[in-house]
Amino acid sequence: MLIIPAIDLLKGKAVRLRQGDMDDFTVYFDNPLDAAKQFADMGVKRLHIVDLDGAKKGEATNFDLIEKIVAKAGMDIEVGGGIRNMDRLKAYFNIGVKYGILGTVVVKDPDFVKEAMKTYPDRIILGVDAKDGYVATEGWYEKSGVTAAELINSYAGYTAESVIYTDIARDGMLTGINTEATIKLADDIAYPVIASGGLKGIEDIEALAGKKGILGAITGKAYYEGKIDLKQALKLQENNG
């Protein structure tokens, strides 16, 4: 089970939002490269980066900064936020990003998503953000009328590396990952699931470790606020494969 630290980029800084509200955030690093170096020094295998400006605007606003992080991080990088076409996806892969996270387009542009999954079958992550049980889009500003499982199962027959499932109500709140919903989603779909949203401590990782279909968990605010010992979590990762 992978422990995946998160760096969310807003106006060139590493931040964390509360419940997806871009007007309610805390800055943790003025220079996100410093955060990436911390994670690299700890032996993190994969880093989660979200271009929050890009998610809202539909374009890769922090592309140059992400390129610098990729060049220095020395680990697998997954990137999301504003990837709406093949040109942008290819541009990220060309600078060394390992996985592209597709979010809003999973709801709004299935043709592009299927093309991406066919072209890069092992490098596409489907990002599903849920609000009140329903998928949210446009940087969490809009709520759709479909559930996470319904949406993901509409891509049956196509290959994805994984699905990141985020409970927006818990994101940045340190209230604990919605483990019940995450484990159920893993049972209901054909892709491995990465848990996201609200991780509060090592107990969340322990609750998910070894569960069928769970590939990993993303930690953001819990690390930045000192609620989780990342070295301890990484040791748990090693023990659970």
Active-site residues, by number, are 8, 129
- Residue ranges in 74-229 assigned as alpha helix (H): 86-94, 104-108, 110-119, 148-153, 179-188, 202-208, 221-224
Rounded CA separation 183/187 (Å): 6
Rounded CA separation 104/68 (Å): 25
Calculate the alpha carbon distances from 10 to 17, 128, 160 in Å: 10, 20, 27
Residue 102, H or E segment: strand 99-102
Tokens of 152: 């993901």
Rounded CA separation 218/71 (Å): 22
